[in-house]
Chain A
Amino acid sequence: MSEGLAIHWRLIPQRYNLVGTECLKCGEKFFPPRQLCPNCRRVGEIREVKFSGEGEIYSYTVIHTPPEGFEFMKPYAMGVIKLIEGPFLTAQLVDCKPEDLEIGKRVELVFRKIIADGSSGIIRYGYKFKLKD
């Protein structure tokens, strides 16, 4: 679904720069960011933290039937990435052939266009990952 401008603007630090959060009380790091630590809840102490963008493939798939807006990319690879700092996230895996993908392979963040709202709408950018040589 296409998002309003404010939703996208609000998420720019996270989507552009991989800014998440961490809880100073228990030490757990969160990406996507959480404003309430699920371990400590009310007594948690949340602050922002920038992630390195390095991680490994935890699982992956190649999507052949894309949703609206992603048709021109198909087929494209999607992975669950385990960041070296601990958290997991979902992102496209780019600049690689499907047969190169493997669980455990090291990956790094790249900044790319995610989707455009039609030909004259706003273009949304965000993180994707590529295999690390």
Chain B
Amino acid sequence: MSKRVAIIGIGMTKFGELWDKRYRDLITEAGADAIKDAGIDGEDIEGLYIGSMSPGLFAGQEHIGALVADYSGLSGIPATRVEAACASGGLALREAYLTIKSGAIDIVVAGGVEKMTDVSTSSAMIALMGAGDQEWEAFKGVTFPSLYALMARRHMVEYGTTIEQISQVAVKSHHNASLNPDAQFPFKVTLEQVMNSAIIADPLRLLHCSPITDGASAVVLASEEKAKELVDDPVWINGSSSATDTIALHDRKSLSRMDSTIIAGKKAYKEAKIKPRDIDFAEVHDCFSIAEILAIEGLNFCKLGDGGKITENGETEIDGRIPINPSGGLKGKGHPVGATGIAQAVEAALQLRGKAGKRQVKDAEIALIHNLGGSGATTVIHILKRN
């Protein structure tokens, strides 16, 4: 059994509407970048885990493990696709981590990829709805924004959260994205612009929603022994957890909190032997602005119900008490669903190495990344530490 597991290489494509790139081009580009960053060769790679939510519906392609190994010039090694809706990337990272931890192999690439803009927006929405309950939600005309709108409404009623506070999440995300050259939307928006954008599912508006995005991301993971041998700046995975909840939103114990996040958070803090206050910054799953509020409450960065308030106070800004989504988050950076969980690891590693440029969180030593599937039926969390 390997004692510890480290991220030794990171790679990511630009996120956006990448008309000229195919599914397989995206993931091979990110993978090659990560391998180059680690300073190793393809022959060193012993396994692949690829997070991808719905390539069958978005690109007509399944059998992703073999495809990615093939186009990376790595045919022969074991390759596994991992799927947990929008948490596919985070779960691929966790599976790769567990494989190394088990001692089975020493060097693994965990990647994530989604090519979403080859289909119409309406078809993309249908594919995404596969993350919910097909028989009892999608059949009724439910959309993903509407599920988060149902949560937002309860949060507003139970805790007095305001639409201004929810909108401030998007303003902050866009501000951070404006400092990130790989972001889909590298520009700022004002509170007025967010609050006056088109209604998607009341009370949520267009600028409360993450976009449809093409992109891929990859990290190289290594056992403690190999990591020390190969690189000077490994980023250690000190905690890894995942938890599930009911597939349909209506079956949850509460709509105003995210129980899978609360459960996975407690497990990850325990494994890493730290408290929420020890986290220097977090990348959380803000697929909709209300989701960031539910995430930071569930991760215990504030009390349940206070997520809107601490956002409004500026506590989650890059220079605030607990910076959230310095990358720009799903809202600003983009959300190629399968790639998102791995892209969070890429951002965290970049920050912990002190190489995040204008969006650098000062003295970042410990980071938490939080990846959500569907309306919260899966949460995957990792805690990362600087060497």
Chain A residues proximal to chain B, CB less than 8 Å: 1, 3, 7, 11, 15, 32, 58-70, 73, 76, 78-80, 88-92, 98, 103, 114-115, 124, 126
Give Cα A133–Cα B201 distance, bound, in whole angstroms.
26
Give Cα A80–Cα B141 distance, bound, in whole angstroms.
13
Residues B128-153 near A (CB distance < 8 A): 129-130, 133-143, 145-146, 149-151, 153
- A59-B150 contact, Cβ under 8 Å, with A1-B134, A32-B248, A65-B143: yes
Question: Which residues of chain A have C-beta atoms less than 8 A from B140's C-beta?
Answer: 78, 90-92, 114, 126
Identity of the chain A residue whose Cβ is nearest the Cβ of B152 in the assembled complex: A61
Question: Which residues of chain A have C-beta atoms less than 8 A from B251's C-beta?
Answer: 88
CB distance from A54 to the nearest CB of B (A): 16
Given contacts A32-B248, A59-B154, A80-B250, 9 further A-B pairs with CB under 8 A are A3-B139, A32-B133, A65-B201, A78-B141, A78-B146, A90-B142, A103-B153, A114-B140, A126-B140
Identity of the chain B residue whose Cβ is nearest the Cβ of A103 in the assembled complex: B157
Give Cα A80–Cα B146 distance, bound, in whole angstroms.
11
Label chain A's interface by main secondary structure: strand
- A11-B141 contact, Cβ under 8 Å, with A58-B255, A65-B200, A88-B250: no
Please name the 6 residue pairs, one residue from A and one from B, whose CB atoms are nearest each other, closest first. A61-B149, A88-B250, A62-B202, A70-B141, A59-B150, A32-B136
Residue from A11, A63, A103 in contact with B143 in the complex, judged by beta carbons closer than 8 Å: A63
CB distance from B56 to the nearest CB of A (A): 12
Is A78's CB under 8 angstroms from B150's CB?
yes
Give Cα A11–Cα B140 distance, bound, in whole angstroms.
13
Is A76's CB under 8 angstroms from B141's CB?
yes
Ordered by A's residue number, 23 sampled pairs between the chains whose C-beta atoms are within 8 Å are A1-B130, A32-B133, A59-B153, A59-B154, A63-B141, A63-B146, A63-B201, A65-B200, A67-B122, A67-B141, A73-B141, A78-B146, A80-B249, A80-B250, A89-B136, A90-B140, A90-B142, A90-B248, A92-B141, A98-B202, A103-B154, A103-B157, A124-B139
Is A61's CB under 8 angstroms from B154's CB?
no
* B230 on the A face (CB < 8 A): no
Give Cα A11–Cα B135 distance, bound, in whole angstroms.
9
Residues B74-108 near A (CB distance < 8 A): none
Question: Which residues of chain B have C-beta atoms less than 8 A from A59's C-beta?
Answer: 150-151, 153-154, 255
Question: Which residues of chain B have C-beta atoms less than 8 A from A68's C-beta?
Answer: 122-123, 125-126
Question: Which residues of chain A have C-beta atoms less than 8 A from B142's C-beta?
Answer: 78, 90
Question: Which residues of chain A have C-beta atoms less than 8 A from B126's C-beta?
Answer: 1, 67-68
Is B134's CB under 8 angstroms from A61's CB?
no
Question: Which residues of chain B have C-beta atoms less than 8 A from A76's C-beta?
Answer: 141
Give Cα A61–Cα B149 distance, bound, in whole angstroms.
6
Question: Which residues of chain B have C-beta atoms less than 8 A from A66's C-beta?
Answer: 141, 143
Among A64, A68, A73, A103, max chain B CB count under 10 A is at: A64
- A65-B150 contact, Cβ under 8 Å, with A90-B249, A126-B139: no
CB distance from B147 to the nearest CB of A (A): 9
Question: Which residues of chain B have C-beta atoms less than 8 A from A126's C-beta?
Answer: 139-140
Residues 226-263 of chain B: 1 if any A CB is under 8 Å from the residue's CB, otherwise 0?
Answer: 00000000000000000000001111000100000000
Give Cα A40–Cα B251 distance, bound, in whole angstroms.
17
Give Cα A18–Cα B22 distance, bound, in whole angstroms.
45
CB distance from A95 to the nearest CB of B (A): 16
